[in-house]
Structure 1
Amino acid sequence: MVIVFVILLNFIPASILENPLVSLLIISGIFLVYYNMMEVVFQKTLGKFITRTRVVTANGRKPKEKDIILRTFCRFIPFDNFSYIGGGNGFHDQFSKTKVIKDKRNRSF
């Protein structure tokens, strides 16, 4: 995802990025578009393609668009990354009732 950010940020004039609020809004927008687009269309991000995993609902079905949107917004919860301590799912999976599983299907881009 860092590579996607770097590529997209190269198209934005440096003078715009000098304002911290504007930078935060632009980066947050890229973040939201990336996760929503990838997980709605493919059920996975680039990292999940590499690890051969995908997002499903708690009952193992393909998530609806609203599930993915909620999951993406929940990634903004402070300390979401620490919610994995002790095993289990992160906050973004708990609140959106989703989980990440091994992808046994032979599907690529």
Structure 2
Amino acid sequence: MLYPNLQISVNKEYDLRPTGMFGRRWKDYMMSKYPQRLSELIALGQINELIAKVDEEAEAKKETLIQQLLEAQPMPETEDMLERAGHMEMITRQAEEIILHEVVYQLR
């Protein structure tokens, strides 16, 4: 049986990329708040490209933001690994929350 070679995006490279956490959250946000815009992006073949751009932008900002938060709230001077891991987890969660509001939950 011959199957058609379907392509979602204009650029095939974006169809093969896995979707990251921030890209999935952006798509869910768009689906719940702006379903017409999401349908338009799908019809134009731009959805996977935008998802990839949101992922890249969010991940780059996350690394920078984690460094800034660590400067503001330095790692505790203890040998307790659980406390250090907990502090790092708190910093990471703070950075992700900021990124969700500044990058992900935006109309594009």
Same fold at TM > 0.5: no
Q: Select the structure with the greater relative contact order (CA < 8 A; seq sep ≥ 6).
A: 2
TM-score, length basis structure 1: 0.37
- Structure richer in helix, relative to its length: 2
TM-score, length basis structure 2: 0.37
